[in-house]
Amino acid sequence: MPFQIVLNIIIAVMWMFLSETYNFSTFAVGYILGIFLLFIMRRFVKRPFYLNRVWKVSLLILLFIRELIMSSIDIVEFVYKKELDNRPGIFALPLEVKSDWEVTLLANLISLTPGTLSLAVSDNHDVLYIHAMDIPDIESSISDIKDTFEKAIMEVTR
């Protein structure tokens, strides 16, 4: 993937030299041309086309923003409730992702999902301890975390 990006930048610089205008907009045009060329040539390069991964990263960012908005609305509902009858607690979530980078990303994402706050990671990176605002209706967000976040992160990093 780094090789393809370098190739793309080289194509953009070559485009700048060819058209003899050295500014950002020419570079951008050259970069888009480079993407187009790499897209045509993608079968001859062994690694998968790098924009696939860029696409998945942007999907992850969109997911992040959506979850942030949902959880804020959730919290606001809690704040304006007449009596606070939620039952908090800490539950353990077994992790599939292993590397530091993935665990950090997942913990940050969980902190911004409705009603959950990542509290600690076990020493061997196996379990994530999550504080939940309301344990009884947390089942759906566990499956949410498992199915959407972990999958999305694994698609980006692997």
Partner 1 sequence: MNGTIINLLIDILIIFFLLSGTFFVFSGALGVVRFKNVYLRLHAATKSSTLGVAGLMLGAFLFMLNEHGIVSGKLLLGILFVLITAPVSAHMIGRAAYKSGIPLSEEAVQDDYKETFEE
User: Which residues of this chain interact with partner 1, rule CB under 8 A?
Assistant: 68-69, 71-72, 74-76, 78-80, 84-92, 107-108, 111-112, 115, 117-120, 122, 129, 131, 133, 135-136
Least separation, in Å, of the C-beta of 71 and partner 1?
5
Least separation, in Å, of the C-beta of 16 and partner 1?
23
Nearer to partner 1, 20 or 23 (CB): 23
**Which residues have CB under 8 Å from 130's CB, separation 6+?**
90, 91, 92, 93, 110, 116, 117, 118, 119
Least separation, in Å, of the C-beta of 32 and partner 1?
21
Nearer to partner 1, 15 or 149 (CB): 149
Tell me how crowded residue 95 is: count the other CB atoms within 10 A of its CB.
Answer: 19
Nearer to partner 1, 2 or 136 (CB): 136
Task: Provide the greatest CA pair distance for the chain.
Answer: 69
Q: Of 146, 152, 140, 143, which Cα lies nearest the Cα of 62? A: 152
